[in-house]
Structure 1
């Protein structure tokens, strides 16, 4: 299989292959291999220190989950089916990797392997896709000033948008839509759904392509959860739908808004487990500056039909596209998360809800912030953790995620994010933005 892929890549002009993985800090790390050494890469992988499991967003190194220190090695093995040539002119290519030991076993820190395990153990086949929000900067200032969703900023950045769409098409990523978003300098791009591993690989690839195209235009982009003080943040909303025997469990049923019985349990599992999982979904020191009430970031452990202030938004789709179009959007995910772990967490919570037949609470049909404390209490509406430290406390002591992800993976993840919280959590927001804006 690798032989045919290597020939394909070389025929397409590959000169240098960037192999990438996403670490516990949510940073895309890489080792690049010249085209002449691809056979060696296929046979032996390329080496990387296991300390990457506990390397923080700023390059600081902590310890946890059995990781830390200078000793040891792991091997990065590409997924050749996913490998593409990003730029036929420069010859730069890309491939996602699995992190394996020298004995060719998955490392406990490999989030891609963790997602694979969770998806393979699931009782449904999941389709997933990310909406990617990002801020475009020109010379250090935002590249447009709105109006939100306006034609004016689209026309100001039309060459960038067209080139992004065409560059993604060249690497096999079909764009559903691209448009100016609410915030200054902000754009959003959506792609079609795919199976979990492919969906996350596509998300990583899409972010890299967007950044490279922007660079060609003399622009820079940031996927950080907050990039401009006192503005809305960037999300990476994760859409998912579970399928069984060719049927969408979120549509065509007799339950609320067309949900099947199993579909109700699956959504209930995600809603019930959000507080336990939020550190895997909104993982950075800027994430909780985005998750504020009445900002459409959805900091509430609720669900609702097309309710953009609920952390889980049920999307039925246009009447003519149902039931296949039905999906649920997990709105709290952002660009600081490790997307493999975020996808694994959503599937695991959904499957737990199904296994335990968790009852689906009543949908919320208004902004929860508009309700009184008494109304929210009476309806069981809970605010999600409001800071990274509290979110990590909930995750660290989760026996469910320790078993689902492995104690070592959970331990190393918490160690990295605890470092980030302790290093940056007490800083003024503007200082945190300056420190972290370009990390993701």
Structure 2
């Protein structure tokens, strides 16, 4: 196990003292995209900043309803350690004297626990660094606000049109608290607008390194949910929390930068889309493995209630410039900032994902494209759903998986992913997701949406 940096320990201790911290959360994210962890008092902190906190190995075998699956090594016997990444230490939103820190899992033998999603992302990022590339990106979340009616039932807060400025009032009222709390959590917000769904809004985060982007995704959701709860509102990031309106995406934007000259490796001024050859290879790999990738980026039964043709949810395996019905969108660059603004967006993604697994999956697929020079084919500038089956066949456009069951089978049968993801992680993830499929069998679609609304 790598030793904690002495400077990081000193900074953490100074942070604890300066903020009069009494409790520290040791947090990780399970395969269901749920933040879990343990909390310790500062009085009893001792050497836990370096030696971590013990937790049962069984936790990665739990589904979203705490049903433990039959996975060897994830039983009542055995323990792992939650080792904090001290660079992530920050305040808990709207709670005094409590701090939170993101953790990696280690075995008691001091070796990394191979079922840990955060470690998987860190490992993939090192492979890009070995290619001379650093990764930058962020999540772009949509979310829906609910209020309780006189019967104490939750209903959407309003039914505003897309981008309607008269729908901003509820969000603007909360905005000072949201922005301040996000800033306290180390997150910079960028753009806000009311989205197309009833009660739906969007607030984007500034790009950062992709490990921090995954950490930020969990903190962002917590901030929004905490501040909504203080106002007797419920905000959900579930992919399809109600069936009568648009679902929530959790789109992932990323770019690749040459470490040596700090230039955007995705940018080519001479290309029509401004997308470099390396960028095209990355997209080629992503599209080659996209059916496996969505098992990680759209990982719930509810995800496939959203991922439907004609719903602006990008249900087809293709790409195009500013095509919001393609799984991979190449956003047009800004006139006065073309190189810096060049990025790739995966639209077939939502916020029920474990962000470490979701981002790792995208990068793994892109890595195959870069290393094996996989061309993405021709970009598509129409809604694939508007084409005939024959037209899509001629253009090589296939529909993404329509169920979670189909997606996870694609994941475990993808030979490249089987090589890049540790067996223990892949087996556990598969069984947990299979249990989710079984759990929701027989439920009415509206009930499935409601259950996910409360989890996410």
TM-score bracket for the superposition, by shorter chain length: over 0.9
**Residue pair 1:137, 1:221 contacting (<8 A) in 2 also:** yes
* 2:119 is equivalent to residue 133 of structure 1: no
- Asked if structure 1 preserves the Cα contact closer than 8 Å seen for 2:104 and 2:116, the reply is yes
Provide closer, same or farther for how the CA distance between residues 162 and 325 of structure 1 changes in structure 2, counting only shifts above 3 A.
same
User: Is 1:20 equivalent to 2:20 in the alignment?
Assistant: no
Specify whether residues 237 and 177 from structure 1 end up closer, same or farther in structure 2 by C-alpha distance, changes over 3 A only: same
Matched residue, 1:69:
75
Rounded to whole Å, the distance in 1 between the matches of 2:68 and 2:368 is 34
Q: Distance in 2 between matches of 1:39 and 1:321?
A: 49
How big is the shift at 1:127? Answer: 0.6
Residue 138 of structure 2 aligns to a residue whose secondary structure is strand
Q: 1:178 aligns with which of 192, 202, 206?
A: 192
CA RMSD in angstroms comes to 1.5
Deviation at 1:248, TM superposition (A): 1.1
Q: Which one of 285, 292, 299 corresponds to residue 269 of structure 1?
A: 285
Q: TM-score normalised to the size of structure 1?
A: 0.96
**1:69/1:265 CA distance change after superposition, 3 Å:** same
Question: Which structure 2 residues correspond to residues 128-277 of structure 1 after superposition, within 5 A?
Answer: 128-139=137-148, 140-244=154-258, 245-277=261-293
SS in 2 for 1:352: helix
Q: CA deviation at 1:309?
A: 0.2
> Conserved in 1, the CA contact under 8 Å of 2:50 and 2:84?
no
Which position in structure 1 is the counterpart of 2:38? 31
- Unpaired segments of 5 or more residues in structure 2? 1-7, 149-153
Deviation of 1:25 (Å): 1.7
CA distance in 2, matches of 1:24, 1:434: 20
Change (3 A) 1:31 1:253: same
Query: 2:241, 2:453 within 8 Å by CA — same for their partners in 1?
Result: yes
Give per-residue Cα distances to partners, 1:107-159, cap 9 Å, x unaligned. Answer: 12210000000010112211110001111112222222212221122113321
* Pairing of 1:101-112 with structure 2 (within 5 A): 101-112=107-118
SS where residue 54 of structure 2 aligns? strand
For residue 202 of structure 1, report the CA deviation from its aligned partner: 1.0
For 2:5, the equivalent position in structure 1 comes to none
Mapped contact 2:94–2:181 kept (Cα < 8 A): no
Unpaired runs of at least 5, structure 1? none
The structure 2 residue matched to 1:93, chosen from 85, 88, 99, is 99
- Per the alignment, do residues 417 and 116 of structure 1 end up closer, same or farther by CA in structure 2, a change over 3 Å counting? same
Match of 2:3 in 1: none
User: Counterpart of 2:125 in 1: which secondary structure?
Assistant: helix
Moved more, 12-21 or 295-304: 12-21
Conserved 8 A contact 1:6-1:38:
no
SS of the equivalent of 2:244 reads coil
Match of 2:388 in 1: 372
For residues 186-230 of structure 1, give each alpha carbon's deviation from its aligned partner in whole angstroms, at most 9, with x where no partner exists.
111111111111111111111111111112222221111111122
- Seen in structure 2, the aligned counterparts of structure 1 residues 55 and 88 have a Cα distance that, compared at 3 Å, is closer
Shift of 1:402: 2.0
Separation in structure 1 between the aligned mates of residue 61 and residue 43 of structure 2, nearest angstrom = 32
Q: Could you tell me which residue of structure 2 aligns to residue 381 of structure 1?
A: 397
**Secondary structure in 2 aligned to 1:136?**
strand
Q: Which residue of 2 aligns with 1:345?
A: 361
Structure 1 residue ranges, 4+ long, deviating more than 3 angstroms after superposition: 253-256
Bigger RCO (CA 8 Å, 6+ sep): 1
Between the aligned partners of 1:404 and 1:204, the Cα distance in structure 2 is 24
Residues 139, 204 of structure 2: 8 Å contact kept:
yes
From 406, 417, 424, the counterpart of 2:433: 417
Q: Is the 8 A contact 2:93 2:222 kept in 1?
A: no
- Whole-angstrom CA distance in 2 between matches of 1:34 and 1:398: 45
Q: How many residues align?
A: 439
Which residue pairs with 1:59 in the alignment? Answer: 66
CA contact (8 A) 1:54 1:68 kept: yes
Task: Check if 1:281 corresponds to 2:297.
Answer: yes
Is the Cα contact below 8 Å between 1:285 and 1:425 reproduced in 2?
A: no
